[in-house]
Amino acid sequence: MAANYNEKLLLNYVPVYVMLPLGVVNVENVFADPETLETHLKRLKEEAGIDGVMVDVWWGIIESKGPKQYDWTAYKTLFQLIARLGLKIQAIMSFHQCGGNVGDVVTIPIPKWVREVGESDPDIYYTNRRGTRDIEYLSLGVDNLPLFAGRTPVQMYSDYMSSFKENMLELLEAGAIVDIEVGLGPAGELRYPAYPQSQGWVFPGIGEFQCYDKYSKSEFKEAAAKAGHPEWDLPDNAGEYNDKAEETGFFKTNGTYVSEEGKFFLTWYSNKLIFHGDQIIGEANKIFAGLKVNLAAKVSGIHWLYNHHSHAAELTAGYYNLYERDGYRPIARMLSKHYGTLNFTCLEMKDTDNTAEALSAPQELVQMVLSKAWKEGIEVAGENALETYGTKGYNQILLNARPNGVNHNGKPKLRMYGFTYLRLSDTVFQENNFELFKKFVRKMHADQDYSGDAEKYGHEIVPLKTPNSHLTVEDIADAAQPSGAFKWDTETDMKVDG
């Protein structure tokens, strides 16, 4: 009887992964300190019962020597070590620069030979209205232009993923690599670099639109002319990084954002981002189809100004999300075409974490985004946005992992697919921190022992299927209709301090 009850409880299990340090393979492509990592991972596995790790696989390291000159040696050694310890791997295809975002402690630029193209043609980078370039990721305006030794960015990303597959096939077939998260923008997120700290942005600034490179500009003019409005232009009244929304012509009450011209721009800007994701995830799907692996994409948790009528910070990042327009379900619809998982962030945050002027609402945002993904029939995974070692953050993550709590009779209606903890560091192992972390993992596992068999908790990975239909503009418009969120309990029934 007890065994049967435990089997039912196990269907509430949410696996926990830990993000490895950013420079675990350093910028010289050396796996520098395997001994310390092994010691840490053994403790996390044996004492805390974690399920696996997530690791950035940096384009800027692997293909640094020149076009198609890939060197996977260090990563192979790293992955073999992880697999030998019985941990699963979530691999991020990191096509962005490390450095310039929250928590970036090392600098890993995109490949030098790619940046050299930018020296003579800086429009390959995302650009704000003043003409400042953001060099952490190539602009989606050049996605299909063969500017890089005859290849387009989409081809470069595709070739890289193909090489990853060839070199890691043994680990993929053995089931050691369970997730391929495809980097689609700065910080690996599907977004525009609207709030770069390297350019002086500070929280909770509105950010800036990033489509003023010559390629994006001419695409917009073409689209406007096609729509019968050749006079429409990219916004020139949306302010600067740290302005307040109400002080700008674009985001103020009854500002440009609600005009026909504003709506046309925002639709164009957000659709470009979604189709960018669709194309690159589509390449990943072709490459990994037939293998037992999940595809995922990460969406940024832009919780500030969520309670401003304009949602300015979301709009500048490319999420066209308003009270009467859904900015996240269209992304989930795109991912559903490729059988992809939506990975979201800021799961540890509460509305009270920030000052009133930030107009921040992470709880509502998380509920909204997770609900939309579930309504589209896809899985949702997530992570914390900032370092988390305390009871409050852990309990909030537990609530989001199972919004209506544990179901003692089987699989809960709402359950996240997995959680990735940011990030492995010495601080995690400080005595009180580690005790609490162990409790957190236990509660994520629904008070059950570690299970190495994903099938037991309803997560059997099936061979990746190819899309049966392609994303259309109509799909996006349909998914953008507002549809409400599921109801969350007020607190988790699995508190770490309960």
100 pLDDT above the threshold of 80: no
Give the integer Cα–Cα distance in Å for 404 and 487: 8
Residues 6+ apart with CB under 8 A from 88: 15, 17, 51, 52, 53, 175, 176, 177, 178
Does 7-480 carry CATH code 3.50.50.60?
A: no
- Give the active site residue among 181, 283, 314, 383: 383
Give the integer Cα–Cα distance in Å for 339 and 337: 6
Distance of CA 369 to the CA centre of its chain: 12
Domain layout of the chain by residue ranges? 7-480
Binding-site residue numbers are 56, 96, 104, 298, 303, 345, 384-385, 423
Confidence (pTM): 0.98
Note the pLDDT tens digit of each residue in 283-319: 999 999 999 999 999 999 999 999 999 999 999 999 9
The pLDDT of 451-459, averaged and rounded, is 95
Q: Which two tokens stand for residue 496?
A: 């770490």
Give start and end residues of each alpha helix (H) in 289-361.
Answer: 312-317, 329-337
Nearest to 368 by CA among 404, 422, 332: 332
As beta bridge partners, residue 215 has none
The pLDDT of 372-385, averaged and rounded, is 98
- Give the active site residue among 63, 136, 189, 379: 189
Whole-number pLDDT of residue 1: 59
487 pLDDT above the threshold of 80: yes
283 is catalytic: no
Note the pLDDT tens digit of each residue in 5-42: 889 999 999 999 999 999 999 999 999 999 999 999 99
71 pLDDT above the threshold of 70: yes
383 is catalytic: yes
**Percent of all residues in the chain with a pLDDT value above 90, rounded to a whole number:** 97
Binding-site residue numbers for substrate are 56, 96, 104, 298, 303, 345, 384-385, 423
CB atoms within 10 A of CB 487: 10
Note the pLDDT tens digit of each residue in 215-272: 999 999 999 999 999 999 999 999 999 999 999 999 999 999 999 999 999 999 999 9
Note the pLDDT tens digit of each residue in 164-184: 999 999 999 999 999 999 999
Rounded to the nearest integer, the mean pLDDT of the chain is 97
197-218 as b/e, with b when 16 or more CB fall inside 10 Å? eebebeebbbbbbbbbbebbbe
